[in-house]
Amino acid sequence: MRLSLQMLLLVVVLVALFFVGSLSISVHNSRAYLASQLASHAQDAATSLGLSASSHAADGDRAMVTAMVNAVFHRGDYLEIRFEDLDGESWIERRTESVAEGVPGWFVRLLPLDPPPREAVVMAGWRQVGRVVVRSHPGLAYRQLWQTSRHLLNLFLLGALGVLLLGWVGLRLLLRPLDAVTVQATAICDREFPVVRGRPFTYEFRRVVDAMNRLSGRVSTMLGDAERTADGLRSQAYQDPVTGLANRRRFDDLLGHRIGDPESPPAWGLLLLQLNDLDVVNRDRGYADGDRLLRETGRVLQEALSRYEGAMLARLGGADFAIVVDAVDRAGLMQVGTAAAGAVAALYGMLGLPSSDVSHVGGAAFAGQDAGTLLAEADQALRKAQVQDPNAVCLSDRPSLSVPVRAARDWRKLVEHALEEGSFTLLRQPVVGCRDGELLHEELFLRIVDPDRAGSRMEAAEFVPTVAAQGLAGRLDRAVLDSVLRQVDEAPPPHRLAVNLAIPTLADEDLLGWLAGRLHELPGGGRSLILEWPEYGATAHAAALRRWIGRLAPIGVEFSIDHFGKGFTSFAFLRSLKVDCLKIDGSIVRTLDQASDDRFLVKTITDIGHGLGMQVVAESIESEAVWHAVRELGLDAGRGFWFGRPN
């Protein structure tokens, strides 16, 4: 119960007690006064009647005495008048019922008035001949007492209403600082750190506000320091200081993970790009211009690769850059290499380079070889390109894996057919808690039937990038979500289901509105759902992701960032997203049992994630040693083939 309501109830109780006490005292005093008045009234009537009837009683004129008694009694002011002789024999007796007109019966029973009898002696000279006994009627007294009580009650109600109104306004003003502190505390839990500006007049509340302001500032500072320290250490370990791209060590981790990850797409390739005149620029113009050439090279390459979802760019050192491209065959890899070489060649005029022959590119398609062999083949292709034309691109002669080569339109037809026929499948893989091995939720993986390989299913990584570029992402994700919600409706799962959505979906307002409507129609459906996007999609479309969270989080949907740590997203950026879960990329997790730097990075991500109220999950756990390291580092859960394949 709120403090303001408790205090208001206390005021109500105190006012009610005051009223009950005041009313009781007032009614008691009024009742006592009226009782004495009834007695006095009866005594006066008895005395007057006794004197008036004395001469007639002495003569034995009962008729006259009766007339006098009737005249007095018929006024209705008396309950009883009795005229009796010295022997107690009644000459005349008049009685009526004690009825109080206009007064509720419960009031009469609650406050009984029993008028006492009063008497007077009837004299004949010095001789006593009888007596008169009179009891006043309490009706008038009851009416006066009832009116007095009503007036007191009305006065109390008006006074109580005024007191309560003034008390409510006063409490609102008095407790307003607590409302501000409550909002501030809630904001801190939501990863915001506001400061209450107005200082309350009340000393105790002023101390609370000052303490909360100090706490908010310190938590913000501590978290900011931790984020900056983590960003700095991560940059030193994994980021090239000149271009801001991944360095050689990070590239080796990503390449090793890509080759060893069973969930990686089968069709992908590696490109190596080498600048030709970096040494000349360093020697003739200085290292500042050389660094500028490297930065501009990284920039134009990032722009050229922006249309290739999931492409990874790194500077290996010196004049060498590496590019990993997903979901491409040999022809697609050649196309990417040509685009990269053309983008870098444009730097000749932009930077006034010594030669228009700016760079060469060599590449190799993945065909099951290990990382060292793949790099050697790409390097050999680079050497061939360097003896060919300026800005030439050359690929290794090794054939790629026997993966069917499909044009973009073929992929579109394949996916559209799967959507129309419903021939796609959602496999599940458990996400297991580190504390006691409980199942926290299940992650769903999309598969469609491969018509060229009987009994084979294609992973989403093979076709999603291509169909997303053709505008099918929203339709595909809607079909997946519709299938998941139908499953939830038919048999609600005991845990949440995590659905990976394509990056273009973030900008699909129609899909967001449709999903919100479906979840409102499905009671509790939101509490069964986790929506996931990869790190680079979340950072590139942060405003859109916030809209999704703002729309769906109130109805129970949770949100997750997938493959976190693959890029170089600032930790401070997480504060504004307000997601529920971070899933650390497998390229960092896979060496946790060996690399101390990776352990430090994972521990840092975990601590910051927990500080922001997020659940932290490790991806791609493939061995018991890695699982043991994950549990040691304090993560919340893990997912990977160590727990079973998607099924």
Residues 581, 530: Cα–Cα separation, whole Å: 9
Least confident of 35-39, 174-178, 458-462: 174-178
**Per-residue pLDDT tens for 133-153?**
888 888 888 888 888 888 888
| Rounded CA separation 305/333 (Å) | 12
- Give me the domains of the chain, ranges plus CATH numbers: 27-161 (3.30.450), 190-237 (no CATH), 248-395 (3.30.70.270), 408-643 (3.20.20.450)
For residue 440, is pLDDT > 70?
yes
Strands (E), 366-406: 393-395
Per-residue pLDDT of 323-354, as tens digits, reads: 998 877 788 889 999 999 999 999 999 999 99
Average pLDDT of the segment spanning 584-594: 87
* Predicted confidence (pLDDT) per residue in 66-76, tens digit: 888 788 777 77
What pLDDT is attached to residue 454? 60
Give exposure, 469-485, as e/b (b: 16+ Cβ within 10 Å): beebbbebbbbbbebbb
User: What integer pLDDT is reported at residue 516 of this predicted model?
Assistant: 94
Which of 160 and 346 is assigned the larger pLDDT?
Answer: 346
Cα separation, 194 vs 181, in Å, equals 10
Of 292-306, 307-321, 445-459, 469-483, which one has max mean pLDDT? 292-306
Highest-confidence range of 76-85, 415-424, 632-641, by mean pLDDT? 632-641
Terminal CA-to-CA distance of the chain, rounded, Å? 49
> Distance between CA atoms of 63 and 68, rounded to whole angstroms?
9
CA gap 638, 166 in Å, rounded = 58
Note the pLDDT of residue 400. Answer: 60
Alpha carbon 284 to its chain centroid, in Å, reads 59
The letter for the amino acid at 625 is A
What does the pLDDT read at residue 618? 95
Q: Strands of 78-85's sheet, edge to edge? A: 90-95, 78-85, 127-136, 118-124
Distance CA 13, CA 7 (A): 10
CA 298 to CA 347: how far, in whole Å?
11
pLDDT at 549 over 80: yes
337 to 76, 274, 278, 320, 328: CA distances (angstroms): 120, 12, 20, 14, 11
The Cα–Cα gap between 607 and 555 comes to 28
Q: Is the pLDDT of residue 38 over 90?
A: no
Q: What angle do CA 229, 233, 238 make, to 5 degrees?
A: 145
Best mean pLDDT range from 36-40, 45-49, 229-233, 554-558:
554-558
Tokens of 193: 């750190």
Distance CA 180, CA 195 (A): 9
pLDDT, mean of residues 628-632: 94
Question: Helix 139-189 to helix 3-58 angle, to the nearest 10 degrees?
Answer: 180
CA distances from 167 to 180, 206, 397, 525 (A): 20, 21, 87, 44
Report pLDDT for 280: 94
| Residue 582 predicted with pLDDT over 90 | yes
Order of strands across the sheet with 320-326?
A: 312-317, 320-326, 268-275, 359-365, 393-395
Between 207 and 239, the higher pLDDT residue: 239
Q: How many residues does the chain have?
A: 647
User: Which residues sit opposite 459 in a β-bridge?
Assistant: 447
At residue 532, the pLDDT reads 95
Please tell me the predicted confidence (pLDDT) of residue 361: 96
Q: Do 441 and 498 form a contact (C-beta atoms < 8 A)?
A: yes
Residues 368-421: tens digit of each pLDDT: 888 999 999 999 999 999 988 899 999 998 766 555 556 667 777 888 888 887
DSSP designation for 368: S
Q: Which of 341, 335, 408, 406 is nearest to 365 (CA)?
A: 335
